[in-house]
Structure 1
């Protein structure tokens, strides 16, 4: 961050403001403290009968890989409103939210990912601008090696396990950045590893 969004002053100072415990960008001209906080990525596990709806990403990161419909929460929007909106925008599906199902912290990219369990109102769906393809998958059809993000893989695994158990719970966890992954995209001949970055 270089400029103050309140007064336009340049440059900002990076220091611990009075009464705080963390370094922040502070404007030396007007005194505005510029807080930077984690972003919420919210979506759904859309279900029709015994199938789950997945979207093949048309955008980076992870274009061409499959994901659950999700995206950034907007201002003046609830998490439930965001989940339904993102599902509609990315998959064309209308859903009824059942419960908050998965909450995962992704601290290395300053995000929190939330997924609602959702019933599709009908089997109607279509690819939105951010999706190349949208498809319903039975459990044994899930392309596990082509899932875009770790949080999506974990959420899907929780869903299918809960379905087998007959009880759907609330799942929480943390996604830790691996120190080394043999599927690193910089290594030739190996597929890139799923990552958790901007959705």
Structure 2
């Protein structure tokens, strides 16, 4: 990737701003760099949870919930459903927002829903080595890909079967700077 400074951009604080930004020296256009939004779901079916073994880096070979980056011009809900289709060939129905996690170290905000299989069929998509429905005592806790997967599963378990709960955030003491 080429350095934006090679194209006349410089790092400075624009008038009325509080952050350093890349600013075009010719026209004053400001390049904003903002966090990425990740969308996903804890998907339940008949008392089991859908997990996908990652076929891509980071954390290839580890288990995760179906989740990934929100695309431009896509609603968060549509993105969560798309990720389930891409990773697990699963059609899901979203129930309620489970959590909003802030992961500042990697500039992510994660929106995770409670969901269920709309059609009881799953298969590994191109980003998954395998997919499987796990009972709680079968979840490979030591092989989960990311701390936020642990958080989401634990928080899901704490509200399982309930409706009308407020969305969770990072667990107490978890800054997301892991």
Q: TM-score, normalised by structure 2?
A: 0.91
Q: 41, 54, 57: which one pairs with 1:57?
A: 54
Partner of 1:113, secondary structure, is strand
The structure showing larger relative contact order (alpha-carbon pairs under 8 Å, at least 6 residues apart) is 2
Structure 1 vs Structure 2 CA RMSD: 1.5
> Is the 8 Å Cα contact of residues 151 and 175 (structure 1) preserved in structure 2?
no
Cα deviation per residue 1:55-97 (whole Å; 9 max; x = unaligned)? 0000000000000001110111110000000111110010111
* CA–CA distance in structure 2, aligned partners of residues 61 and 51 of structure 1: 25
2:19 is equivalent to residue 28 of structure 1:
no
| Shift in Å, 1:119 | 1.2
| Shift in Å, 1:49 | 1.1
* CA–CA distance in structure 1, aligned partners of residues 176 and 111 of structure 2: 16
Provide structure 2 residue ranges, at least 5 long, that are not aligned to the other structure. Answer: none
* CA–CA distance in structure 2, aligned partners of residues 137 and 11 of structure 1: 53
> Is the 8 Å Cα contact of residues 104 and 175 (structure 1) preserved in structure 2?
no
Q: 122, 143, 162: which one pairs with 1:167?
A: 162
| Shift in Å, 1:122 | 2.5
**Where does residue 176 of structure 1 map in the other structure?**
176
Provide structure 1 residue ranges, at least 5 long, that are not aligned to the other structure. Answer: 179-199
Question: Where does structure 1 differ by over 6 angstroms across 4 or more consecutive aligned residues?
Answer: none
Cα deviation per residue 1:29-55 (whole Å; 9 max; x = unaligned)? 121100000110001111111001000
Number of residue pairs matched? 172
**Where does residue 2 of structure 1 map in the other structure?**
3
